[in-house]
């Protein structure tokens, strides 16, 4: 068994003060830094995902419905798309960017970011699933922002891809006040909650 930690979208725009802030986002960034410091050696790989929007079409709206459309956020190359400063990414093995030209909630829609590529990724760079499989990863822990959107989508896709998947609830921040429906959906999809 080889386990990876997937840190989902812990970006400035999704934390307090950002354009699409989630309450508790900055605290999750700090808790993740502490967690990696204490448990990082338990993982064969640590990866991050980032929303990295260039022209995401209807995903951005001046009159968002907060279901399928949202205010502009995590625009490629802006400060809002950067990782929150409370998150120490020095132990991260790879970063995967998603959503350049369309909505993308799951990290498994992302591709490996290439150094110096302001547009996000090269089209031929490996997807998150390919990268993990190439390294013999069998199990993944998923944490980050937001529990009921990108964390949920990433975890469900991980389970569908055959990875033994856990969501680390205390290392996530959600949008909804009641996350029980999300937890039930995750468990129904074969995701363990820890």
Residue 48 reports pLDDT greater than 90: yes
In the chain, where are the structural domains located? 3-193
pLDDT the model gives residue 122: 55
Alpha-carbon dihedral sign for residues 14, 15, 19, 23: positive
Q: What's residue 79's pLDDT?
A: 96
Label residue 125 by pLDDT band (50, 70, 90): confident
Q: Which CATH topology does 3-193 take?
A: Rossmann fold (3.40.50)
Q: What is the DSSP letter of 35?
A: H
Residue with tokens 């949202």: 70
Contact criterion met (CB below 8 Å) for 175 and 181: no
Give the whole-angstrom CA distance, residue 106 versus residue 187: 17
> Would you tell me the crossing angle of helices 180-188 and 152-160 to the nearest 10 degrees?
10
User: Of 75-84, 105-114, 117-126, 178-187, which gets the smallest average pLDDT?
Assistant: 117-126
pLDDT above 90 for 107: yes
pTM of the model: 0.95
C-alpha 123/C-alpha 142 separation (Å) is 25
- The catalytic residue positions are 9, 98, 150
């Amino acid at each position: 068994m080889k386990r990876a930690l997937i840190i989902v979208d812990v970006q400035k725009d999704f934390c307090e003060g950002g354009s699409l802030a989630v309450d508790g986002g900055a605290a999750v960034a700090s808790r993740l830094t502490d967690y990696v410091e204490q448990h990082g050696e338990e993982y064969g790989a640590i990866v991050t995902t980032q929303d990295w929007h260039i022209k995401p079409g209807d995903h951005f709206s001046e009159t968002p419905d907060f279901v399928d459309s949202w205010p502009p956020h995590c625009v490629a190359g802006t400060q809002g798309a950067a990782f929150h400063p409370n998150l120490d990414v020095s132990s991260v093995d790879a970063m995967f960017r998603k959503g350049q030209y369309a909505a993308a909630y799951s990290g498994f829609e992302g591709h490996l970011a290439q150094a110096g590529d302001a547009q996000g990724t090269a089209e031929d760079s490996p997807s998150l699933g390919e990268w993990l499989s190439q390294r013999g990863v069998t199990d993944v822990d998923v944490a980050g922002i937001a529990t009921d959107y990108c964390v949920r989508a990433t975890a469900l896709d991980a389970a569908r891809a055959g990875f033994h998947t856990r969501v680390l609830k205390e290392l996530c921040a959600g949008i909804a006040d009641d996350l029980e429906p999300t937890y039930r959906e995750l468990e129904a999809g074969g995701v363990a909650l820890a």
